[in-house]
């Protein structure tokens, strides 16, 4: 699939993967093929820098990025970044079979029906899901379209350039998250499995369905890690920082068994964060999230029938909530497991601890996908 919201420049150079999130900033450096990890960095996003997916303090953000580049000790200055889920609209549309030059104009006209902004105020890109050579004359072909407000993309580019970096590609986060899972998406023995990919981020969640590498469904859900944090803050009368810490230390998506409870480290000082109270605080968000996921899957089944989802992967920092992945798997009736983006990445074991990388797997699925795009030929 062509990269959406793609080219600002297209030289054949290696680029860093950069994810600018509302909770964290992440940089990944890869090189060569097979890809080898050269470095990574993560640090909290300065409060107030990003609002509703838009960068409102590009200067502050640029300063943090410069510090991260120093930490990474890299000379690379090209980056592949991604727009916020809240800033991007994706739609799959149908158009008649046509030549590539005709397709660009046709997609632009057709996209006006689905994008709630004036077409001359957005950055628009598209990727055919069908090979025109396999489509008979007169038949329809599917095209996935991505669009973002020009001002949002301009703010992202401004912050990147202010840090001394050059953006090569502005990607779509959920699609970037699929890139490290390429081998799992393709399946074995030529069979293309139907796969669910769920990214539970800090400000939103993304649900993607694919058959092999073909996109079937992409939906953004406005429930995320911040909603778990807010629920804990309300229940225990905590400020956002303390609520986030309580979530990381004591949050859980299910009431633990007696054996599991013995493994939890509850000191006397913080005895109030007992499993029952914590679960009661989080449960309404869990119910809302699973309901939204079910609605999305049911809508898809009504449109195309029940394809039978054969595998699923969950990523994003919000997915680290204890017990969330097995809960979603049981509730949705889909075999889900945590995404492991490092499976096909080489690294120097004297420089990088494997256990540490695995602990970062949920947060680094998207930035690693961006970095993989950065070591592919940018034609």
Instruction: Say if residues 310 and 235 touch (Cβ distance below 8 Å).
Output: no
Question: Is 201 found in the same domain as 164?
Answer: no
Which of 6-10, 207-211, 283-287, 292-296 shows the lowest per-residue confidence on average (mean pLDDT)? 6-10
CA distance 291 to 295: 6
Question: How many residues are recorded in the chain?
Answer: 379
Question: Is 297 found in the same domain as 171?
Answer: no
Question: Is 235 found in the same domain as 160?
Answer: no
Question: Is 370 found in the same domain as 359?
Answer: yes
pLDDT computed for residue 302 by the predictor:
86
Contacts of 12 (CB under 8 A, 6+ apart): 377, 378, 379
Per the DSSP assignment, residues forming a β-bridge with 144 are 92, 127
Q: Which of 21, 379, 4 is nearest to 171 (CA)?
A: 4
Is residue 105 a part of any domain in this protein? no
Question: Is 286 found in the same domain as 274?
Answer: yes
Which of 63-77, 125-139, 313-327 shows the lowest per-residue confidence on average (mean pLDDT)? 125-139
Is residue 90 a part of any domain in this protein? no
Q: Tokens 């949920």 appear where?
A: 362
Q: Which of 275, 370, 291, 371 is nearest to 323 (CA)?
A: 275
Question: Is 333 found in the same domain as 210?
Answer: yes
Q: What is the extent of the structural domain holding 23?
A: 1-84+153-176+343-375
Task: Give the confidence band of 336 by pLDDT, cuts at 50, 70, 90.
Answer: very high
Number of domains making up the chain: 2
Residue 3 has pLDDT above 80, yes or no: no
Question: Is 199 found in the same domain as 69?
Answer: no
- CATH code of the domain covering residue 256: 3.30.420.40
Question: Is 357 found in the same domain as 316?
Answer: no
Q: What is the pTM of this model?
A: 0.90
Is residue 5 a part of any domain in this protein? yes
CA distance 148 to 209: 21
Average pLDDT, the chain: 88
> DSSP label at 199?
E
> DSSP label at 52?
T
Question: Is 284 found in the same domain as 296?
Answer: yes
CA distance 103 to 326: 43
pLDDT computed for residue 269 by the predictor:
46
Question: Is 360 found in the same domain as 308?
Answer: no
Is residue 264 a part of any domain in this protein? yes
Contacts of 229 (CB under 8 A, 6+ apart): 240, 243, 244, 247
Is residue 142 a part of any domain in this protein? no
Question: Is 296 found in the same domain as 162?
Answer: no
- pLDDT above 70: percentage of residues in the chain: 92
Is residue 128 a part of any domain in this protein? no
pLDDT mean over 99-123: 86
pLDDT computed for residue 274 by the predictor:
83
Question: Is 188 found in the same domain as 324?
Answer: yes
More confident residue, 31 or 2: 31
Describe the strand order of the beta sheet including 36-44 as a list of residue ranges. Answer: 36-44, 24-31, 16-20, 78-83, 166-172
Is residue 51 a part of any domain in this protein? yes
Describe the strand order of the beta sheet including 336-338 as a list of residue ranges. Answer: 214-221, 205-211, 194-200, 311-315, 336-338
pLDDT computed for residue 305 by the predictor:
77
Is residue 271 a part of any domain in this protein? yes
């Amino acid at each position: 699939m062509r990269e959406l919201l793609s080219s600002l420049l297209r030289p054949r150079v290696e680029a860093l993967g950069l994810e600018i999130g509302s909770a964290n900033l992440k940089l990944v450096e890869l090189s060569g093929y097979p890809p080898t990890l050269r470095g990574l960095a993560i640090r909290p996003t300065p409060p107030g820098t990003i609002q509703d997916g838009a960068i409102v303090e590009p200067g502050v953000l640029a300063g943090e990025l410069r510090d991260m580049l120093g930490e990474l000790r890299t000379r690379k200055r090209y980056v592949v970044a991604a727009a916020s889920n809240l800033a991007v609209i994706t739609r799959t549309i149908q158009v008649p079979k046509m030549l590539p030059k005709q397709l660009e104009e046709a997609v632009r006209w057709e996209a006006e029906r689905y994008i709630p902004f004036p077409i001359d105020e957005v950055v628009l890109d598209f990727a055919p899901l069908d090979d025109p050579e396999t489509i008979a004359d007169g038949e329809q072909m599917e095209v996935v379209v991505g669009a973002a407000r020009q001002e949002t993309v301009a703010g992202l580019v401004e912050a990147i350039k202010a840090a001394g970096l050059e953006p090569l590609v502005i990607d779509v986060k959920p699609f970037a998250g699929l890139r490290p899972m390429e081998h799992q998406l393709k399946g074995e023995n030529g069979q293309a499995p139907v796969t669910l990919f769920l990214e539970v981020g800090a400000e939103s969640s993304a649900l993607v369905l694919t058959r092999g590498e073909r996109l079937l469904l992409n939906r953004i859900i406005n429930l995320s890690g911040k909603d778990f944090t807010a629920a804990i803050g309300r229940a225990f009368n905590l400020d956002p920082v303390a609520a986030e810490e309580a979530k990381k230390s004591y949050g859980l998506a299910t009431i633990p068994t007696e054996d599991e409870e013995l493994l939890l480290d509850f000191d006397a000082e913080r005895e109030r964060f007992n499993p029952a109270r914590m679960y009661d605080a989080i449960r309404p968000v869990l119910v809302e999230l699973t309901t939204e996921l079910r609605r999305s899957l049911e809508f898809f089944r009504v449109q195309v029938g029940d394809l039978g989802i054969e595998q699923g992967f969950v990523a994003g920092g919000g997915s680290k909530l204890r017990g969330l992945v097995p809960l979603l798997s049981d509730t949705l009736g889909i075999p889900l497991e945590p995404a492991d983006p490092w499976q096909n990445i080489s690294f120097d074991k004297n420089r990088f601890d494997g256990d540490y990388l695995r602990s970062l797997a949920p947060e680094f699925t998207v930035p690693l996908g961006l970095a993989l795009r950065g070591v592919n030929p940018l034609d």
